[in-house]
Amino acid sequence: MSDGELVAGMQAGSADAFDALVERYRKSIYRLAKAMTQNHDAAGDLSQETFVLAYRRIRQLKNPESFGPWLRKILVNLCIRRSAKIMPASLEDHEIESPESPSADAERNMVRDKVRNAIMELDPAERTVVLLYYMEGMKQTQIADALGCPVGTVWSRLNSARCKLRGRLADLIS
Amino acid sequence: MEHRMNCSEVQNLIPQYLSGELDDDTRREVEEHISGCPDCQEGMRREQSLGDLIGQSADDPPEEYWDSYNDKVRSRIRGVVGMLWRLGILAGCLAGLIGGFAEHMGIWNFASSSTCPPLLRTIEMWCLVVGLAVVLGFLFKRFSTYGLPRYERDETSLKHAIAMNPVYRWTLVSLFVLLLLGAAVYLPLAFIQSPFMPGWAVWTLRVLVFIGFASGIPGSCRTITDYLDGRDLHAEWARKSIKQRLTAYPIVTITMLLLMVTCEWQVGMLKYVNAPMECRQRADALFSSGDTQSAVSILESGIRKYGDRYGVLDCYTRLGEIYKKTGHPAEARDTYRAGTRAYKYLVRHPKSYYRKQDRLRLLSDAANLYFRLGENKSAFDVSTVRLQTGPDDAENIFSVALDYECAGYKDEAKVLYDRITIEFPNTLWAHAAKDCLNAPH
């Protein structure tokens, strides 16, 4: 079933439709929340809250097919509002994702950490744009819509972030 | 002349090219340029590499994390209103229980002097308690999100704050405790007849509390109305929620209801049983202030009203005493005689809700009436019944022994004194019994 059909079902009052949408988007939303906060608890909390708000505002969604971007928009707004309350990354978070760390994974984890740190060092506005663009594969117009800013601003933030990241991750990129 | 893109322009467009955001003409132009430009090929490779790195930096929690995920989202949607409502009811019940026991212990008396019917009083009390709890919970919820944008004032924001911050959590717990204490303190204050609470304040509080109660109901019934209306998603979950409430908490609910009913019943019965005694106390106050006529009329009306209660003999005794003190021995004697008739009626029609101590008081009062009439044999018989009825403790036996002695049955009294010294040695009662045995008669 497409997003549009599920959203229509949800608007008509089907709990199964909402469950299916949660099922479909929860990993993606969690990942984005985790990337934005680097905190497992906060990511879980924010992602759940995103679905709660989506449920409450489902009637405001004019274009059912754009449920995904709309959901991310809610998450981004939540993250921005809550950013002051969210604690920084903790070491335990890293243990969650790789319970057993064989040596083959060690290098990959190191690369991941480096990329994450580079992203976290970005200015929050740039970080948001970078994550939406690269991690979520959103188009610049969708990001502009989600953030409520002109496309030009998205473009300039993206460019600026890209330059910084290329500098910080030069050894990995080359 | 056709414009050809240079490397700088192409490099700027590479991200959009990779994400498929370019129109056909521009895309074709970028492709052409890249195919012949090693620098731009390198730029594209780096852009792809950056995208891959960022994309791979995402991480997932363990699979079991998702097991309860959907349930968590649903329980959040059900919201805090239900939780507050449950807490409110719990607070109300506890406050009512505290109030009921305080009443029982005689710490405060609000139900006793009110003239409203008991049922109304009961309903009012519970509405007040529950309403107070709900309105406090409601205010707490509102103030806890005061100053936040409307977006943040959703019910979940409080839950979020509680989940995220132990300070909030303990603040909530403290406020809840304060709420309980407040309800317990507020009740005696608001419940009227309080000398430091003016009437208008009492009624203002009552109105406020009832408004709070009324406003709390719609919120708390949201799931039910959603279910009945079948409006939206809530319908399906409301069905589960109602089912859960009906099945998951029956023990708690039934226990609370039983406690509530028991408490109410106790309080009501106590008031019912003690009413003649209070009548006598009012008459005493009037008599000592010199208003004999009012004291007599209160006692007479008490005798008429409370003829079916054990405590009414108290009214007969006191009325007889007043007649005697005011120089009407014949009326006094008639009153005592009427009292003994009332005793005979009452002892034949025992009420199941009377406690043993009430029956003992009845027998003691009856013996007192017979003494006043000079009918020592009857007094002795009643005291004997009391001995058989009452607990086999030193106090009761000693009291009966004194009655025997007063009635002139010294041998029987001596037997009882001896029994106390043997069965309860080294107690105050044993010492008192020895003193009575040794005292010159």
Dihedral (CA of B376, B377, B380, B385) sign: negative
Q: Residue B204: what pLDDT?
A: 60
Are B53 and A44 within 8 A, CB to CB? no
Predicted TM-score of the model (pTM): 0.43
Are A22 and B160 within 8 A, CB to CB? no
Q: Residue B97: what pLDDT?
A: 54
Q: Is B73 on the interface with A (CB under 8 A)?
A: yes
Mutate to test the interface with B, among A73, A119, A173 (most CBs of B within 10 A): A173
Residue A142 has pLDDT above 70, yes or no: yes
Q: Residue A174: what pLDDT?
A: 66
Among residues B94, B165, B177, B90, the alpha carbon closest in space to that of B140 is found at: B177
3-state helix/strand/coil string of B383-401: HHHHHHHCCCCHHHHHHHH
Nearest neighbour of B156 by CB, restricted to A52, A131, A162: A52
Report long-range pairs for B40-47 (Cβ below 8 Å, ≥24 apart): B40/B7, B40/B10, B40/B11, B40/B14, B43/B10, B43/B11, B43/B14, B44/B14, B44/B17, B44/B18, B46/A166, B46/A173, B46/A174, B47/A162, B47/B14, B47/B15, B47/B18
DSSP assigned state of A136: S
Averaged over B261-269, what is the pLDDT? 60
State the nearest Cα–Cα gap between A153 and chain B, in angstroms. 14
Q: Residue B299: what pLDDT?
A: 92
Among residues B49, B43, B45, B51, the alpha carbon closest in space to that of B7 is found at: B43
Q: Which amino acid is at A17?
A: A
Residue A69 has pLDDT above 80, yes or no: yes
Mutate to test the interface with A, among B45, B71, B233, B240 (most CBs of A within 10 A): B233
| ipTM score of complex | 0.78
Q: Residue B336: what pLDDT?
A: 93
Q: Residue A127: what pLDDT?
A: 85
Among residues A116, A131, A44, the alpha carbon closest in space to that of A82 is found at: A44
DSSP assigned state of B22: S
Nearest neighbour of A26 by CB, restricted to B66, B154, B233: B66
Among chain A residues, CA nearest to B230: A13
Tokens in use for A111? 């690369």
Q: What is the pLDDT of residues B47-100, one digit of tens each?
A: 888 888 887 777 777 888 888 888 888 777 765 555 656 566 666 655 655 555
Q: Report A:126-155 residues touching B (Cβ under 8 A).
A: 130-131, 133-135, 137, 139-141
Nearest neighbour of B53 by CB, restricted to A40, A51, A169: A169
DSSP string, B89-126: HHHHHHHHHHHHHHHHHTS--STTT--S-HHHHHHHHH
Range in A109-123, B88-102, B312-326, B416-430 with the lowest mean pLDDT: B88-102
Mutate to test the interface with B, among A18, A60, A75, A126 (most CBs of B within 10 A): A18
Predicted confidence band at B1 (pLDDT cuts at 50, 70, 90)? very low
Among residues B319, B343, B342, B348, the alpha carbon closest in space to that of B331 is found at: B319
Q: Report B:151-180 residues touching A (Cβ under 8 A).
A: 151-152, 154, 156, 160, 163-165
Predicted confidence band at A135 (pLDDT cuts at 50, 70, 90)? confident
